[in-house]
């Protein structure tokens, strides 16, 4: 009986940290903000956005989706004064991490 109890406790100890990690990952709350691009630093993966009342600094996650219309673009393709919508979350260190950016300025093909 003691052996089974010890195995059960050991299994619970090994499984619980993984379960806790999954809960934390699943509980990341994303937000959306629209504004005008003030600055782009593609080397530092940084986007600074003015939302009409304040400047927000977004760190662009590796693999973040960046789109203009139906085209995937690079962070470096964004320009000052572009109107964008950023989907982001607040990381545990307080930084805003962008996971998706949509450039609302669609160039017309003529």
Instruction: Give, for all 110 residues of the chain, the pLDDT tens digit.
Output: 554 444 343 344 334 344 333 333 456 899 999 999 999 999 999 999 999 999 999 999 999 999 999 999 999 999 999 999 999 999 999 999 999 999 998 755 44
Residue 17, CA distances (Å) to 22, 23, 93 in order: 9, 10, 21
Residue-range domain boundaries for the chain: 30-103
CA distance 51 to 4: 59
Task: State the pTM of this model.
Answer: 0.72
Question: What's the pLDDT at 26?
Answer: 54
Topology at the third CATH level for domain 30-103: OB fold (Dihydrolipoamide Acetyltransferase, E2P) (2.40.50)
């Amino acid at each position: 009986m003691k052996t089974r109890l010890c195995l059960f406790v050991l299994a619970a100890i090994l499984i619980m940290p993984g379960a806790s990690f999954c809960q934390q990952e699943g509980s990341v709350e994303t937000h959306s903000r629209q504004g005008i691009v003030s600055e782009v630093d593609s080397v530092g993966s940084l986007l600074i956005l003015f939302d009409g009342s304040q400047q927000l600094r977004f760190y662009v996650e590796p693999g973040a989706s960046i789109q203009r219309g139906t085209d995937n673009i690079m962070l470096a393709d964004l320009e000052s004064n572009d109107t964008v919508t950023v989907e982001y979350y607040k990381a545990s260190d307080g930084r805003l991490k962008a996971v998706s950016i949509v450039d609302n300025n669609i160039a017309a093909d003529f």
